Copies of this chain bind each other. A is one copy, B any other.
């Protein structure tokens, strides 16, 4: 049963895995972990060029009410990424420059919010990265409780406190804490393999040959006219 709660402590992922995942970026990590964990593509960065990774502090909020974001700041730690999800679809501007100032004072790396964000000009100047579903000035109240560090579904992905969030220009992905190390290693392998492939493709070799697809398309019965 669902009642408002704040979980102060969440198990954290290995620090080196976080560093590695930030380096590889969303698309590589997505492939490396078996094509799962991606948030819906409507989650877009408010400015381009930022790449961040860090353990999630999750916040479940009522529609149009940002009281719990204020509660959540206190349980963030340096390197955290705040993940905010309304309990029903909402585009209100829960978050702006003042909250970013507060999060930055606590070392939080950025925000992922399945709702709206405002003060985008100031946030861009501050270089505080946000991935959101909307940009909206619509203000929120501080009247109703929600929960911090419980499991949430954000833009179609299930996220628990301490899971690793990776976000860049391609979008946002969650890597479960327990496999973060393993996914980081698989990402490294994938990057190496892609480097070799890139060179061959640049020289004019075809993916059909590099990936050995000619036999497959023949077997599947593709007809050339």
A residues neighboring B (CB under 8 Å): 1-8, 25-27, 30-31, 33-38, 40-41, 44, 48-49, 62-65, 67, 70-71, 73-74, 87-93, 96-99, 101-102, 104-106, 116, 118-121, 134-139, 141-145, 151, 153, 156-158, 168-171, 173, 179, 182-183, 186, 194, 197-198, 201-204, 206-208, 211, 213, 216-217, 220-225
Could you tell me if A198 and B121 are in contact, using CB atoms closer than 8 angstroms? no
Could you tell me if A5 and B222 are in contact, using CB atoms closer than 8 angstroms? yes
Q: What 10 additional pairs, Cβ within 8 angstroms, besides A2-B34, A153-B158?
A: A1-B33, A30-B138, A38-B137, A70-B213, A71-B213, A89-B90, A93-B170, A104-B202, A137-B171, A142-B211
Report the bound CA distance from A151 to B37 in whole Å.
12
Interfacial chain B residues near A151, Cβ < 8 Å: 158
Could you tell me if A105 and B203 are in contact, using CB atoms closer than 8 angstroms? yes
Interface centre among A36, A88, A168, A201 (most CB of B within 10 A): A88
Report the bound CA distance from A138 to B155 in whole Å.
14
This chain's copy number in the assembly: 6
Could you tell me if A70 and B171 are in contact, using CB atoms closer than 8 angstroms? no
Interfacial chain B residues near A211, Cβ < 8 Å: 70, 142
Interfacial chain B residues near A142, Cβ < 8 Å: 211, 213, 216
Report the bound CA distance from A32 to B224 in whole Å.
22
